[in-house]
Structure formats: structure tokens, C-alpha cells
Chain A
Amino acid sequence: MADDVTQPRIGVDEWVASVEGKRERYRGPVGWLRRGWDSSPPAARLLVFVVPAVIFPFVTSEGNLFRYGLITLLYALLGLGLNVTVGFAGLLDLGYIAFFGFGAYTYGYVASAHANHHWPAELAIPLAIAVAAAVGFIVGFPSRRLVGDYLAIVTLFFGQAFVVFVNNANRINFWPFNHTDLTGGANGLDNIDPLNVFGWKVNTTKEFYLFTLGAFLLVMIVLYFVSESRTGRAWKALREDPLAAEVMSMPVNRLKLMAFVFGAGIAGFAGAIYGSVQTGAFPGDYDIGLLITIYAIVILGGAGSLAGVIVGALIVNGVPELLRDSNQAEWLFYTALVILVLAKVRPWQKLVVVVGGTLGLGFALHAIADAWFPRWTAGQPNDGKLAHWVSHWMVLPSHATQLANWAYVLTIALILVLTLLHGWWRTIVFIPTIYVAAFAWENLLVENTAGATRFLLLGALLVVLMNVRPQGLFGTARVEIV
């Protein structure tokens, strides 16, 4: 191994690791913020989130409230549930989205014209939670004795089986279903009722937002107390070392199953709300893409941290949404790039090399392309002043899509390489990375931030995070004791 940071630090435990990190963390303005955060009581911390969240629907448009507010909240609610299984108990649940789907389909089944039931939400939502939790129990039960790895396989397969099932459950012709149309098949359930909670019809985006916010806060507060309770502490002990926990006479299997079922129940809750927001439940919504999104949220925020889930959801859902407006995206990208370079490249000699090298490389390539391959600079820059300036530095081929796709994948590969390099090598590789990233940006991403590129980014994010900062933004650093 190249550097000794990756070596196990024998006998160093969580507490020592945190003390070591403190010297680093508590300096400068960021350190001041951190001190304030650490010393404020949990209720005050919650207010930091609640106050803006309550004001938000009254100052923004309906569309923005849906894109930034409601979807982020639903993701965060899902993240809370996953945080119990992955963050508290350390179980890798890869079928999590299926429980979300069970919630949505259960709610849809009892509250739509499909089977002609119209249950009020105060009955339908508990039913959705109960069904998801019961399914969680059934799935978790056979895997409870097994090592974490088996649980991952079983749940991953289960998630896939769920998608197959809902896609085809409208035409099962054998016992016990015999031609009952359970899920509407590939077309899904549509015209699901709006939530009707004790006579309050939740219908507009604003109402949905407020209802979800309430649900989220409820779950958050319950989870806070659960995590501080005997069970919560037992889960964390289990996560750190199942064997030691068992020796301490903790009922390991029951605790595991409990965490699993708890997470599934929260997913069912989120699913019921989501089904009502969408006014439908469609098989394609409950696939692996959403799973990765929620994992990215939990891991980015820091597994085991409740505040981290909110921040993770804001970043994972908010940033791609912000990037949809190309002019705004352009500024955002280059500002982020400049901040990144200023913050990460030290000392100033290296900074000079990086900035000079990047600019030099760009202008040199542009000049070469202009002189010999005019086709390479024939592309049209995007709208906006910044894009116009950039077009003097960046080569813009006329038909760039395929090339930009490769550049994009190359960027992410280069970033992965960067995380492993140190010293001057890192500085040198940094220069082409910036250029290739900007190239992919100019030619591909400004146009297209949805679909494959987004998921690709999330996949890479997981790898980079695991390598660079496995505890995420808000998690506590842990060092394996050998």
C-alpha cells in the first residue's frame, strides 16, 4: 500500500479517532459553525431545518415547490427508513424500494377506483405501513441468522422479484390469485385518491408538502428517540461488532429483524404518500435507480446521522434540478470548479501550476484545433456570457455527443484515479481532469442532466465517498479495531 493512512490503526477506536480529528475540524469559520452545531440541543438543530421548510411553500411557485420541496422531502423520508437499516443496524438492505412500492400499491389498492375501495387515509396509511412491515418481516426472517452478505443478495433479488410481480400480477391464473387483478400490471394503478385525513382533503402541492413535512418531522422525532433508546444503542453495538454484541447477551437476530422491519415500515409510509402524490402507482417507479438515489442520500449525508439525511436529500435531489437551466448551470459549474480548486490545491505553487496548466492546456488545444482541424471548433456555444467566454478556451466539435459521452465517462474515471494519487502526481493529473470535465460539461451535460448521466454520477459518488470519506458529511469517523 502506498501510504500509511490506509493501514489499520491498531487499538485506535472511535473516541480516539474523533479526538484526533477535532484539532483539524475546529479551526476557522467552519470550525466555529461546527462548534455551535455540536453544542446546541437537538430541538434547536431541528429548528434550523423546520423554519426554512415551513416558510418555503409560501415564497415559491407550485412547480418549484414540487421539484425542490416535495420530492426532496419524500426522498428524505425514504432516507430516514434506510438509515435505520443501513445506518443504525448496519444491514445492507437492497430491496428497500420494494417496501416503498408495497406501501404505494397497498394505498392504491384500498383508495382508488381499481377495486372500488375508498378508504380514508387514517386507515389506509396504517394499513400500508403494516403491509410493508409484514413483508419486511417475511423477507428478513429467513436471512436473519445469516451474515450480512446473504441479506444483501436476498433483498436485491427480492427487489427484482417485486418488479416482476407487480408487472404481471394482473394476469395470474393460478391459486391463490385466480385472475384477480391486483396491481394493474404494466399500466399500474391510476386515479388513486388524494389523501383524506380525518376529513382534510390533501389535494394541492402545498397541502401535500405540508402533510409530508408533518410526516417527516414525526418520523424524525420518533427516530431520534429510538436511536437514543436501549434498542437504538443495541443496533449501533450490533453494527460495530455483531459478535461482541452477542457476547454481551444481546438478542442479535431479533434486533436485526426489528431494524429491518422498522425500515420497511417507514418505506411503506413514504410509499403511501408517494402513491397519492403521483395519483398512481407504476412498476417503473420502484426500480433500482431509486434505490441508488436513496443510498446516495444516506451515504452522502453520513450513515447513522439524521441531519445527514436531510442534507443528502437536498444535495442529491436539488443539484440536478438546479442544473436544468443551462445558463444557471454554467455559472454553478464553474463557480464550483473554482472553489474546489482553491480549496483543494495547496500550497500556492501547486495552485499556480494547476490554474496556469489548465488555462494553458485549453488555449493550446484550442489554437491547435483552430489551425489544423477547424471542424473541432465549429460547435455553437450555449447561451449566456460565460459560455461565450468559455468557447475561446474550450474546443467545441460540431457533432460532439458521442465524444462527450466518452469524455464524461473518462472524467469520472479520472476522478476515481485522483482519489488514489498523492503529491505532484495528483497535481499533474488534476489539470487534464479539469479540462476533460469541462469538455464533457460544455458538450453534454448542460443539455442533459437527467437519466443515465445522473445515475452514472450517483454510482461514481458512492465509490468516491467510500474511498475518500466513508462516514459521509455528518457521520462519525470510525476506525476498524484490529
Chain B
Amino acid sequence: MNWSLFWDLTVSGVTLGSVYALVALGYSMVYGILKLLNFAHGDVYMIGAFMGWFALHWLGGPVNPSVTAGLVVVFMFVFAMLACGGLGVVIERFAYRPLRNAPRIAPLISALGVSFFLQNSALLLFGANFRDYDTFDLIGAKTYNYKDIFLSVPQILTIVSAIGLMVGLTLLVARTKIGKAMRATSFDREAASMMGIDVDRVIASTFFIGSALAGAAGVMFGLVFGQIYHFMGFLAGLKGFTAAVIGGIGSIPGAMLGGLLVGLAESYATGYLPQGSTFQNLYVFALLIAIIIIRPQGLLGKADVNKV
């Protein structure tokens, strides 16, 4: 067995998995609270990547930034997260809130429309060409290693900040007042509103947090893989979905686990399965189908009992 290849694949799988996990969290939170698949989420992630790129270039670009590289990266994250969070709130207000009592298929179609709208707006406004984060000039090509495990700085940054964000989110949901309100709302929206919880505000903040995480994921993707473009949200959105479903949709630890699994599966498929680099997406799709057949509620999800 070639261990160095194995570790390379593992590291890139974990990196990719952190990005997917952050995207999956947004899906899962929104699904938990509204029972709505937010198709536009992948495109919010794409907008996040672009916002990070714009932030980078407002600060003088990757070659000679006007402040130190660390500050630039922090600013990129903060800007992308705030912009995406705001976008998420706006999307919820205009595309989903009016449809809360509509037949179930209506918000799904509306979500599809939003996704397409964002994608093509980005194509029209930002152009069809790839944008380059150019991390080499910004951060350098330095890598750290422990025996065979090599990690580049953007990879460390991605993994560490993803863990940080997830810990933060878990604490927020478990310990704070708004987190408690979110749990209550997702458990039973009507009862929560009768208990004096401002459901609209809780849903809006869920969208803000979920979209902000997607924005951070977009910036991470840009830092690690360099190139971003207007259509990147579609595939990432699909993988995020897959991750959320595999982990158990609606469950926050499930989304993290699912993201990691999808990232690793994709990475190992690239290395070990026949023609993996071409058909990696088909292999992930096969994984999704397998999970749906074997355990439809996902790995950490609870089986849904239909109440009447």
C-alpha cells in the first residue's frame, strides 16, 4: 500500500469535507426549521467566493496587499460571511416567507428560481471567466508535515476555521437564547409562536447563520483550490445536499459527519476507483443512492414519523 498517496488523499478529502460540511450545515438548519430544501444555498456559496475575491482586491490584491496577509484573510472571511448572511435573509424574505403556507412544491420551485437567478446574475455581472484567488502570492507555498502527512497553509486554515465555526455553531444552538428559540421553532413552529417566540425573526437568523457559513465555505474553497467561477455553486450545492442527506437532514452533527464522508469519498474515489478523476461525481451519487436505500433517515437522523 502506498501510504503517502493515502495520506495525500485523506488530507485533501478532509479539506474538501470541511467545505462541504459548512455548506451542508446551511441546508440542514433550514430544512430543520422550515422543511424546505433551499436550492439557492449552493449559489449563496458561490456568491461568498466572489465576495471574498472582491474583498481581496479591495485590499490591494494578492501580490502586494495593503495590510498583512493574515488581516486580509480575516477581512475576506468577515466580508463574505456578512454579505452572504444578508443575501440569505433577503432571499428568505422575498422568495420563501410569502410561501410558508402554500402547497409544499411551491417553495421548492421558488428556490429553484432563486438559484437560477443568482447563477445567471453572477454570469452577467461578474463575467464567465474564472477568477483566481492566487493564494501562492498571498500566503506562500509553505507546507508543514508530520511524517507522511503534508498540509499546506490554506488547508490548515480551512480545517481549523471550519472546526472553529462548527464549534461556535454548536455552542450557539445549544447555549444561547436564539439557539433555544431555533430548536423550539424547528420542533413545532406553531407552538413556538404561541410561546411568544418571534418565529419570523428566528427563521431569518437561521438563514443568516446558514448563509454566512456557506459564504465562509466559498472563501475556503477559493483559498485552497484557487479558481472560482459562476457555476461552482451548483456542484457544491449538490454535494452539500448529499452530505446533509447522508448525515441525516435536519441534524447538525449529521451535516458535519456527512460533509466529511462525502469529501473523503470523493477524494478516495479520485485516487483508487477506475477513472476516478473523471467519474468522481458519479461515485458520490452512487454513495447517495446507497445511503438512501439502506438508511433513508441518514446516519445520525431520526426516522420521521408522520403525524396527522
A residues touching B (Cβ–Cβ < 8 Å)? 6-8, 86, 90, 92, 94, 142-143, 145-150, 152-154, 156-158, 160-161, 164-165, 168, 172-174, 243, 288, 292, 295, 299, 303, 402, 405-406, 408-409, 412, 416-417, 419-420, 452-453, 455-456, 458-463, 466-467, 470, 478, 480, 482
A362 to B71 Cα, complex, angstroms: 45
Contacts of B123 in A (CB 8 A): 452
Give A408 to B94 CA distance when docked, in angstroms. Answer: 18
**In the complex the two chains form, is A470's CB within 8 Å of B102's CB?**
yes
Q: Is B4 part of the binding interface, using a Cβ–Cβ cutoff of 8 Å?
A: no
B170, CB-defined interface residue at 8 Å: no
The answer on a CB contact under 8 Å between A466 and B110 is: yes
Q: Tell me, yes or no, whether B120 is within 8 Å of chain A by CB.
A: yes
Q: Which residues from chain A contact B63 at a C-beta distance below 8 Å?
A: none
Asked if B235 and A453 make an inter-chain contact with CB atoms under 8 angstroms apart, the answer reads no
CB closest residue in chain B, given A444: B124
Q: Which residues of chain A come closer than 8 Å to B120, judged between CB atoms?
A: 452-453, 455-456, 459
Interface 9-mer from B10-18, B111-119, B132-140: B111-119
Interface centre among A173, A417, A456 (most CB of B within 10 A): A456
Chain A CB count within 10 A is highest, among B101, B108, B115, B124, for B124
Chain A residues with Cβ under 8 A from B104's Cβ?
A: 148
Which residues in window 91-149 of B have CB below 8 A to A?
93-95, 98-110, 112-121, 123-125
Residue of A nearest to B237 (CB): A156
Which residue of B is nearest A149, CB measured? B37
B111 shortest CB reach to chain A, Å: 9
Q: Verify if B306 is at the interface (C-beta below 8 Å from A).
A: yes
The answer, yes or no, to whether B296 is at the interface (CB within 8 Å) is yes
CB closest chain-B residue, reference A448: B124
7 tightest CB-CB pairs across the interface, nearest first?
A462-B113, A459-B116, A459-B117, A456-B120, A174-B274, A466-B110, A463-B113
* Contact between chains at A462 and B293 (CB < 8 Å): no
The answer to whether B114 and A459 touch across the interface, beta carbons within 8 angstroms, is yes
Chain A residues closer than 8 Å to B99, beta-carbon distance: 466-467, 470
Residues of chain B in range 18-77 having any CB-CB distance to chain A below 8 Å: 31, 35, 37, 39
Q: List 24 A-B contacts (CB under 8 A).
A: A6-B100, A92-B109, A146-B296, A149-B35, A149-B108, A153-B238, A156-B241, A157-B285, A160-B238, A173-B274, A174-B274, A292-B112, A292-B116, A419-B98, A420-B93, A420-B98, A455-B120, A456-B117, A456-B124, A462-B109, A466-B109, A467-B94, A467-B95, A482-B101
Complex-state Cα separation, A482 to B123, whole angstroms:
42
Residue of B nearest to A296 (CB): B113
In contact, A172 and B275 (Cβ under 8 angstroms): yes
Nearest-CB residue, chain B, relative to A86: B105
Residues of A contacting B275 with CB < 8 Å? 168, 172-174
- A295 to B102 CA separation, bound complex (whole angstroms): 18
Please state if B121 and A466 are interface contacts (CB–CB under 8 Å): no
Known pairs A165-B282, A295-B112, A456-B116 / 9 extra A-B pairs, C-beta < 8 Å: A146-B292, A149-B108, A164-B282, A168-B275, A243-B308, A453-B120, A458-B116, A478-B103, A480-B103
Q: How far does the alpha carbon of A135 sit from the alpha carbon of B213 in the complex, in Å?
A: 37
Residues of A within 8 A of B278 (CB): 164, 168
Say whether B106 contacts A466, CB under 8 Å. Answer: yes
A-side interface mostly: helix
| Closest Cβ neighbor of A175 among chain B residues | B274
Among B105, B117, B121, B306, the residue within 8 A (CB) of A90 is: B105
Contact of B285 among A8, A158, A408, A466 (CB under 8 A): A158
* Chain B hits for A463, CB < 8 A: 94-95, 110, 113-114, 117
- Enumerate chain B residues within 8 angstroms of A466, measured Cβ to Cβ: 95, 99, 102, 106-107, 109-110, 113
- In the complex, B265 has a CB within 8 A of chain A: no
Does B205 sit within 8 A of A, measured CB to CB? no
Q: How far is the CA of A143 from the CA of B274 in the complex (A)?
A: 27
Query: With an 8 A cutoff between CB atoms, is B81 at the interface?
Result: no
Q: Within the assembled complex, what's the spacing in Å between the Cα atoms of A85 and B125?
A: 35
* Nearest chain A residue, comparing its CB with the CB of B100: A6
Q: How far is the CA of A458 from the CA of B275 in the complex (A)?
A: 37
Separation in Å of the B157 CB from the closest CB of chain A?
29
**Is A417 touching B285 in the complex (CB atoms < 8 A)?**
no
- Given the known interface contacts A161-B281, A161-B285, the answer about A142 and B124 at a Cβ–Cβ threshold of 8 Å is no
Instruction: Look across to chain A and name the residue whose beta carbon is closest to the beta carbon of B102.
Output: A470
> What's the least CB distance linking A283 to chain B, in Å?
13
Q: Are B94 and A470 in contact (CB under 8 A)?
A: no
Question: How many angstroms between the C-alpha atoms of A402 and B114 in the bound complex?
Answer: 22
The minimal Cβ–Cβ distance linking B262 to chain A, given in whole angstroms, is 12
Q: Is A150 touching B292 in the complex (CB atoms < 8 A)?
A: yes
Whether A288 and B113, one on each chain, are in contact in the complex, defined by CB atoms closer than 8 angstroms, is no
Q: Indicate whether A168 sits within 8 Å of B279 (C-beta atoms), given known contacts A6-B101, A420-B98, A480-B103.
A: yes
Complex Cα gap A146–B249 (Å)? 13
Q: Which residue of A lies closest to B112 (CB)?
A: A462
Assembly CA distance A164 to B285 (angstroms): 11
Residue of A nearest to B283 (CB): A161
Complex Cα spacing A243 to B98, Å: 25
Give the chain A neighbours of B289 by CB distance below 8 A. Answer: 142, 154
Chain B positions within 8 Å of A478 at CB level? 103
B209 adjacent to chain A (CB < 8 Å): no
Alpha-carbon gap, A417 to B234, bound state (A): 26
The distance in angstroms between the C-alpha atoms of A408 and B102, with both chains bound, is: 29
Query: Please, how many angstroms separate the alpha-carbon atoms of A90 and B95 in the complex?
Result: 20
Instruction: Give B297 Cβ to nearest chain A Cβ, in Å.
Output: 10
Q: Chain A's nearest CB lies how many Å from the CB of B93?
A: 8
| Contact flag A157-B242 (CB < 8 Å), given A164-B282, A470-B102 | yes
With A405-B125, A406-B125, A455-B116 as contacts: A299 and B242 at CB distance below 8 Å: no
Residues in B with CB closer than 8 Å to A174 are 274-275
CB pair B293–A142 under 8 Å, yes or no, is yes
Q: A456-B121, A458-B116, A467-B98 are in contact. Are A145 and B296 (CB under 8 A)?
A: yes
Chain A positions within 8 Å of B113 at CB level: 292, 458-463, 466
Q: Provide the residues of chain A in CB contact with B107, threshold 8 Å.
A: 466
Please report the C-alpha to C-alpha distance between residue A295 and residue B306 in the assembled complex, in whole angstroms.
Answer: 29
Q: How far is the CB of A429 from chain B (nearest CB, A)?
A: 13
B245 beta carbon closer than 8 Å to chain A: yes
Convert B79-97 into 0s and 1s, putting 1 for each residue whose CB lies closer than 8 angstroms to a CB of A: 0000000000000011100
Chain A residues near B98 (CB-CB < 8 A): 6, 419-420, 467
A250 to chain B, nearest CB (A): 15
Residue of A nearest to B126 (CB): A405
Q: Which residues of A contact B105 (CB under 8 A)?
A: 86, 90, 92, 148, 303
Which residues of chain B are near A145, meaning CB under 8 Å? 296
In whole Å, how far is A388's beta carbon from the nearest beta carbon of chain B?
28
Instruction: List, in ascending order, chain B residues with CB within 8 A of A456's CB.
Output: 116-117, 120-121, 124
B223 interface hit (Cβ, 8 Å): no
Asked if A160 and B281 sit within 8 Å, CB to CB, the answer is: yes
Query: Contact: A7 with B101, CB < 8 Å?
Result: yes
B288 contacts the other chain (CB 8 A): yes
Contact (Cβ within 8 A) B245 A153: yes
How many Å lie between the Cα of A147 and that of B37 in the bound state? 12
Cα A148 to Cα B124 with chains together (Å): 33
Question: Nearest-CB distance from B112 to chain A (Å)?
Answer: 6
Distance A157 CA – B234 CA, assembled complex (angstroms): 10
